[in-house]
C-alpha cells in the first residue's frame, strides 16, 4: 500500500522531513520508489528534461498523462502527485476539474498547480469534487518566467507579505501541501511555521517541511540548466558518455558481441544445414 495524503500531512505534525523527487519515466521512478522516497512528483519540467523544450509552456495534458501513467506503473510505496500544465486550469474552473480528473485517471493521487490567491477558488472547486491539490507559489515557471525571469521571490517586505497571504489562502482553499520555489529562506521559514500543511522547498532553504529535486539533476544527467539549489550527488552524464564510447569501440573492433553474448545452433543441426546447402 503506497503512502496517502494523510501520511504526508502527518509527517509535518511529527516533525519528520518529507523527501520528494521529480521523476517522469518508469525506470527511474522504480528506483526512486525502491529507495523509499516519500513523494514522486511528475512535473511539467518533463517538457525540458524529457522532450527538449526550452521551457514548460508547450507541455500538453496528453503528455502529462503519459508521464503520469509511466510513473504510476512504477511506484509501489510513494505518493504520486502530477502537475497540471500551462493553460490546463487557468481558463476556467471546468477545465481545471476535467484535467485534474484526467491525471487522477492516469494514476496520480493528487494534482499540483501554480498560483496563490488568484487560484484559491479553482483549488477549492477541485478539492470539492474529491481531488487532492498541492499548491505552488514563489517562482512559478509557467507564468513568472514570462514576466520576471529566473529571480528569487520574497526579498522585500511587500513581496514577502504577498507570499504569506498566498500560502494562507491556499491552505484555506484546501490544499494539502504547498511547493515553495526559490523563495528567500527567511520567508519560506515563516510560511512553514504559519501554515498547518507541509511545505516542500525548491531552493527555499532548510526550514521547509520537505525538499524536492529533479532526479536527473540529482544524478548529474541533465546539464542544460544547473540551478544553484540542485545539489548533484553524482555526475552520471560523464560515466554514461564514457560507457557509450567504450561500447562504440567494442563494436568497431569486434570485441562485442563475444561468444557469451550470442546464441548457437545444435552442432548436428548445423551439420545437416551445411550438407543441404552444399557447403
What's the pLDDT at 148? 63
Range of the domain at 263: 239-277
Q: Are residues 128 and 218 in the same domain?
A: yes
Q: Are residues 222 and 92 in the same domain?
A: yes
Q: Are 47 and 63 in contact (CB under 8 A)?
A: yes
CB count in 10 Å sphere of residue 186: 14
Q: Are residues 23 and 119 in the same domain?
A: yes
Q: Are strands 210-214 and 18-22 parallel, antiparallel or unpaired?
A: parallel
Cell, residue 117: 490567491
Q: Is residue 15 within a helix (H) or strand (E), and if so which, with residue range?
A: none
What's the pLDDT at 168? 98
| Cell 519560506, located at residue | 188
Residues of the chain with pLDDT under 50: none
CA 128 to chain centre: 25
| Cell 544445414, located at residue | 273
Tell me which residue of 125, 91, 133, 88 sits closest to 108, measured CA to CA. Answer: 133
Bridge partners (DSSP) listed for residue 81:
41, 110
Q: Are residues 257 and 243 in the same domain?
A: yes
Compute the Cα dihedral for 200, 206, 212, 214 and give only its sign. positive
Rg (CA), the chain: 23
CATH of the domain at 185: 3.20.20.60
> What is the distance between the alpha carbons of residues 218 and 225, in angstroms, rounded to a whole number?
12
Q: Are residues 117 and 251 in the same domain?
A: no
Tell me which residue of 260, 200, 220 sits closest to 21, measured CA to CA. Answer: 200
Cell, residue 105: 485517471
Q: Are 107 and 69 in contact (CB under 8 A)?
A: yes
Q: Are residues 56 and 142 in the same domain?
A: yes
> What is the distance between the alpha carbons of residues 89 and 96, in angstroms, rounded to a whole number?
4
What's the pLDDT at 143? 81
Q: Are residues 159 and 264 in the same domain?
A: no
Tell me which residue of 62, 159, 137, 145 sits closest to 105, measured CA to CA. Answer: 62
Q: Could you give the angle at the alpha carbon of 162 between the alpha carbons of 160 and 167, nearest 5°?
A: 95
Q: Are residues 264 and 183 in the same domain?
A: no
Q: Are residues 147 and 250 in the same domain?
A: no
pLDDT digits (tens, 9 = 90+) for 101-124: 999 999 999 999 999 999 999 999
> What is the distance between the alpha carbons of residues 149 and 143, in angstroms, rounded to a whole number?
9
Q: Could you give the angle at the alpha carbon of 16 between the alpha carbons of 12 and 177, nearest 5°?
A: 35
What's the pLDDT at 223? 74
Q: Are residues 264 and 199 in the same domain?
A: no
Domains held by the chain: number: 2
Q: Is residue 49 within a helix (H) or strand (E), and if so which, with residue range?
A: helix 46-49
Spot the catalytic one: 165, 171, 181, 193: 181
| Cell 526550452, located at residue | 54
What's the pLDDT at 222? 81
Segments of 170-266 assigned E as strands: 177-181, 199-202, 210-214
Q: Is 181 a catalytic residue?
A: yes
Cell, residue 214: 529533479
Q: Are residues 43 and 164 in the same domain?
A: yes
Regarding pTM above 0.95, the answer is: no
Amino acid at each position: 500500500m503506497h503512502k496517502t495524503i494523510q501520511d504526508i500531512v502527518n509527517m509535518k505534525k511529527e516533525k519528520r522531513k518529507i523527501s520528494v523527487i521529480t521523476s517522469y519515466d518508469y525506470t527511474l521512478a522504480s528506483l526512486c520508489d525502491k529507495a523509499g522516497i516519500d513523494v514522486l512528483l511528475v512535473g511539467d519540467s518533463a517538457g525540458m528534461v524529457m522532450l527538449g523544450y526550452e521551457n514548460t509552456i508547450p507541455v500538453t495534458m496528453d503528455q502529462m498523462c503519459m508521464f503520469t501513467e509511466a510513473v504510476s506503473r512504477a511506484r509501489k510505496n510513494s505518493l504520486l502527485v502530477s502537475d497540471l500544465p500551462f493553460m490546463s486550469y487557468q481558463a476556467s474552473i471546468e477545465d481545471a476539474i476535467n484535467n485534474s480528473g484526467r491525471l487522477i485517471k492516469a494514476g496520480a493521487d493528487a494534482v499540483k498547480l501554480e498560483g496563490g490567491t488568484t487560484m484559491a477558488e479553482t483549488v477549492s472547486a477541485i478539492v470539492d469534487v474529491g481531488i487532492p491539490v498541492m499548491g505552488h507559489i514563489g517562482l512559478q515557471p509557467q507564468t513568472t518566467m514570462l514576466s520576471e525571469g529566473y529571480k528569487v521571490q520574497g526579498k522585500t517586505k511587500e513581496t514577502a507579505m504577498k507570499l504569506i497571504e498566498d500560502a494562507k489562502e491556499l491552505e484555506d482553499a484546501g490544499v494539502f501541501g504547498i511547493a515553495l520555489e526559490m523563495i528567500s529562506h527567511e520567508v519560506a521559514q515563516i510560511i512553514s511555521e504559519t501554515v498547518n500543511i507541509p511545505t516542500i522547498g525548491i531552493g527555499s532553504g532548510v526550514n521547509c517541511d520537505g525538499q524536492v529535486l529533479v532526479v536527473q539533476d540529482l544524478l548529474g544527467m541533465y546539464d542544460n540548466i544547473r540551478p544553484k539549489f540542485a545539489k548533484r550527488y553524482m555526475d552520471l552524464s560523464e560515466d554514461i558518455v564514457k560507457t557509450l564510447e567504450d561500447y562504440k569501440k567494442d563494436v568497431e573492433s569486434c570485441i562485442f558481441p563475444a561468444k557469451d553474448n550470442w546464441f548457437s545452433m545444435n552442432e548436428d543441426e548445423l551439420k545437416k544445414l551445411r550438407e543441404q546447402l552444399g557447403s
